[in-house]
Amino acid sequence: MKILVVDDSATMRRIITKNLNSAGYDDITEAENGEEALGKLEGIQLILTDWNMPVMDGLTFVKTVRTMDAYKDVPIMMITSQAAKKEVIEALKNGVNDYLVKPFTAGTIAEKVKGLAE
């Protein structure tokens, strides 16, 4: 499974990638903002994206992906510090399939990714 990890923090990208690797997912592409991610969509089967990023934020990125025929059904999980319920609802309304609030425990990502991958 080809997974795209989008986060402006290199530390966070490494943590997420490490967690995915130890869960057996090793085809990971990384991008540091929504705009860079749009250029790396080819063949991607699952997207994990941050919300708060410079250049293009995660919500704008998700909205854009959902307008693209080839990717409008790719599962997307938002992994973000934005913890208010209103924000979770806004993200889900705009095409996010699952939502994970930072900080998270190592096992949670793997569990949620498995759920989305099915």
Residues lying near another protein in the complex (CB under 8 A): 8-12, 14-15, 52-54, 80-87, 101-105
Name the DSSP class of 68. S
Binding marks (x or -) toward Mg ion, 52..71, rule CB under 5 A?
xx------------------
Give the torsion sign (CA, 58, 112, 117, 86).
Answer: negative
Q: Which of Mg ion, another protein, none has residue 85 at its interface (CB below 5 to 8 Å by kind)?
A: another protein
C-alpha–C-alpha distance, residues 56 and 67, integer Å: 16
Where does this chain bind Mg ion (CB under 5 A)? Answer: 8, 50, 52-53
